[in-house]
Amino acid sequence: MAQKVEKLKGIIFDKDGTLFDYAQVWETILKEGIALTFNSMGKQHHQTAKQAMLSLMGIDEKGQCIPRGLVFTHRRVQILRRFLLYCIRYRVNAIKAIKGYNRSVKHSEVLLNEKLKQMDFSVQQRLFRRLKEEGYHIGVITSDNASSTNLFLSLMGLEKMVDFIASRDSNYRRKPHSEAFNAFCTQAGINPSQVAMVGDTFTDMLFAKRAQSGYRIAVLTGSNDRRRLERLSDVVYEDISFLDTDKRLFPAQ
């Protein structure tokens, strides 16, 4: 006898690369940040090193996401090792680069505000409204900071439909540890098996697996790493718009 599929009552989204195409939003921001960083080091003419830095972060010359990019990696040791190797290869002072990057981050919210106001998020808004109409509890668990996360959700028109937010500033251990997932379940009063997880990285899917999520959905608008995502996900979609026709999320359609 086939096992009965449990009804889903909650859904958790990653933010960057999941709720929107990562490169579409962040390419301009990262390029500006890298330019500011190199200017602060007096290396504004080092175009090869700038492009290599963008590729290291996760966006190639064509504006496409690179699966091995640091922004899609959650292993701190690996991030530090690859960053230091980059600094050695391109003769970049690591301390100055980090300080310059931190200064550029403070400026990024101004650029983000301008960028997001120009974008159409009607697909995401319709999806979230439909999920709420179906009675779903909605959570967003991200590695971004609280200020940036709130800015995104506000400008995307989603903030009033999100019931739970866990960011880098929250007192939860980072993905793939399941602590934030469990907190969402506790707040919503539901079991992990009743929660769908939507993410764009292998870490998101590992996070969902460790939390014993009932349904793991991967999208290709972030890390674009289909091969690894297929290993842990139940389904892989090109982007978030495909959720609208997903029969596990909306079985009555």
Which pTM was predicted?
Answer: 0.88
Last-in-domain residue among 59, 92, 117: 117
Q: Please, are residues 18 and 208 in contact by the beta-carbon 8 Å criterion?
A: no
Amino acid at residue number 224: N
Q: What pLDDT shows up at residue 75?
A: 78
Residues 164 and 128 in one domain: yes
As beta bridge partners, residue 11 has: 138, 196
Per-residue model confidence as pLDDT tens for the chain (253 residues): 344 678 999 999 999 999 999 988 888 888 888 888 888 888 888 899 999 999 998 888 888 888 888 888 777 888 889 999 999 999 999 988 888 777 776 677 778 888 888 999 999 999 999 999 999 999 999 988 898 899 999 999 999 999 999 999 999 999 999 999 999 999 999 999 999 999 999 999 999 999 999 999 999 999 999 999 999 999 999 999 999 999 999 997 6
What is the tally of structural domains in the chain?
A: 2
Which residues form the domain of 128? 10-20+121-245
Q: What does the pLDDT read at residue 3?
A: 46
Instruction: Clarify whether residues 89 and 60 are in a common domain.
Output: yes
**CATH classification of the domain holding 180:** 3.40.50.1000
Q: What is the enclosing helix (H) or strand (E) of 226?
A: helix 226-232
Q: Select from 69, 101, 117 the last residue of a domain.
A: 117
Same domain, 229 and 131: yes
Shared domain check, 65 and 14 = no
> Do both 157 and 35 map to the same domain?
no
